[in-house]
Structure 1
Amino acid sequence: MDEKKKIRVLIAKPGLDGHERGARVIAYGLRDLGFEVIYTGLRQTTDQIVTAAIQEDVNVVGLSILSGAHISLTRKVLDQLRERDAGDVMVIIGGIVPEKDHAELSEMGVAGIFTAGSAIKDVAAFIRSKLA
């Protein structure tokens, strides 16, 4: 990735989950660390998220999910990205993600999983290393 070009990250809250504090903290934190961040807001459909990711030409989609629907919502986002020739967009997720689901998420194509308490600098370092 070109060192001068900012990494573009879309932070999204899919589904009916109404808790956005974590998503906002990550969005502001990544912005403060030099990323260009687009936050789509609450209650986004997977189609809205994928459309925004493509329109904004992002490098990364970060899904913040606390509702327990992380498997189905993430699968839909990944499938829709692939269907729209944007399968190269890295997808990471955060929120309430039980350890037992990590392997399945990784197998479906999730690049990274960040649960409550993850340091923003660690998320940033992970993104930078994966896109280097």
Structure 2
Amino acid sequence: MANSPATNSAPLKVVVAKPGLDGHDRGAKVVARALRDSGMEVVYTGIYQTPESIMRAVIQEDADVLGLSSLSGAHLDYAEELGQLLRANDRADVLFVAGGTIPPEDAVKLKEYGVHEVFGPGTPTTVLVEYVTTYARNVSAIPVQ
């Protein structure tokens, strides 16, 4: 499992994933680059991933953060399954964020599934980087909304 900030000064490790048949990955690549440029180690899984393959990457990489990028409209199904897989694999300590063309009304449901924050189109990458840096190894500090 990921270590607490007090005991781990290693760079944050982030898995950025594109689930399902969504082949549009420009946004995921922009996010991956911004996180990398801020000093994080980023593993981009590529397109057409299943929840199981994404979860394997999170476990194998001992990731601190899972970023789900979705433009296909299937974000609710994938986020629900990934939330379940994170809990089932004792990885509820992973900061789980989502981004893409996600309607604001779906953000509430995503958070019920375990997504900590949702970043919509036009969100400055600096906002995402700040959020990840603040909460990646301390998800318990995320304010309840």
Q: Normalization by structure 2: what TM-score?
A: 0.87
Aligned-pair CA distance for 1:121:
1.0
Q: Which residue of 1 aligns with 2:142?
A: none
Q: Which residue of 1 aligns with 2:40?
A: 35
Distance 1:111 1:5 in 2: 22
Q: Which amino acid aligns with 2:57?
A: A
Q: Which residue of 1 aligns with 2:141?
A: none
| SS of equivalent residue, structure 1 residue 104 | helix
Q: Which amino acid aligns with 1:29?
A: A
Across the two proteins, how many residue pairs are aligned to each other? 132
**TM alignment of 1:5-84, pairs within 5 A:** 5-84=10-89
Give the gaps of 5 or more residues in structure 2. 139-145
Give the gaps of 5 or more residues in structure 1. none
Q: Which residue of 2 aligns with 1:126?
A: 131
Q: Among the aligned pairs, what percent are the same residue?
A: 42
Aligned-pair CA distance for 1:4:
2.6
Aligned-pair CA distance for 1:86:
1.3
Q: Which residue of 1 aligns with 2:98?
A: 93
Distance 1:38 1:61 in 2: 10
* CA deviation string 1:62-83 (max 9, x = no partner): 0000000111100111101111
Distance 2:109 2:86 in 1: 18
Distance 2:49 2:116 in 1: 21
Q: Normalization by structure 1: what TM-score?
A: 0.95
| SS of equivalent residue, structure 2 residue 90 | coil
Distance 2:111 2:53 in 1: 23
After the TM superposition, list the runs of 4 or more consecutive aligned residues in structure 1 that deviate by more than 3 angstroms: none
| SS of equivalent residue, structure 1 residue 5 | coil
